[in-house]
Homo-oligomer: A and B are copies of this chain.
């Protein structure tokens, strides 16, 4: 018989000391040269990166000239990279982006859905709001795609389909930033109806390190290509407008607010996550060259466990001060309490963070 697996890559929750749930963790920590520095589980796990692809999707859009032609500012850029909470500020901004593009909500090919934040959905129910496409957490990305399609002179209809010129640009941008041949990236369809790439965690981690490096290079006028400059601007947009990338109380927002520009972080659905950290004494201490990337996937798609693991990994790697990481305490020290507030168990980080160097 199969024994219950207790590998070296698990988070285990208990109740009264008895194992309740087990969650498999995979993580890769790399640098801007793509070298693997640390890992948990299988850093080569082929992973559907979902919305962690947004910075690369935004890159494809800005490289068409579409962002400039539509007069998108850095807040718009941040919303293109967002899985926002559909708060009023996000929905309004998405509407404004559509106006700038010269498109309407009818052009969006995503559907309406509940907010990622239950309190926001609760408010809609109270106020009788029916969420339409512009309320979709990916509406900024979709508005951006319309700008890209327009700049390419391609039809706005079907901008979400794999064969559309803007999606072919996305495909190439994802391949090139991941430094992978087309044959090593597999495409599915995302929750918001756009192509969704799958590739190894180590390459996702590398991609985010490249965004962080591009921002540093941009800041000291050392960016040598148009692409690097755009990657730096995308990083800066996310880092400067974290409230657009997630929302009130969301991990992405609180992480980037706490680190004040020193990193970007982005959630992907089903508990995938990527972080890019600018080069500093901290990243050099970890053996990184240029910048540091971190990519994580929880095997069963559990978000609470994902956030706890991210906060725990930042602590293990000593990225940021304890003061900065304090902002993530509620995510890190997951409270296992019942309906009357009694603590019933704990979260145990039983995985091993392997060092490669």
Contacts and interface: CB of A to CB of B under 8 A. Distances in A.
Interface of A: 1-5, 7-9, 14-24, 26, 39, 41-46, 48, 109-113, 122, 125-126, 136, 186-193, 196, 198, 270, 299-302, 338-342, 344-345, 354
A345 B39 contact: no
Contacts of A15: 48, 188-189, 196, 198
A16 B188 contact: yes
21 contacts: A1-B41, A1-B44, A1-B354, A2-B9, A4-B24, A5-B5, A15-B48, A16-B186, A16-B188, A18-B198, A19-B46, A20-B48, A21-B299, A22-B24, A110-B340, A125-B125, A126-B126, A190-B338, A190-B344, A191-B339, A300-B302
Contact of A344 (B18, B45, B189, B300): B189
Given A8-B2, A15-B188, A270 B193 contact: no
Contact of A301 (B1, B4, B21): B21
B41 A2 contact: yes
A39 B198 CA distance: 34
A301 B345 CA distance: 15
A63 to B, nearest CB: 25
Contacts of A17: 186, 188
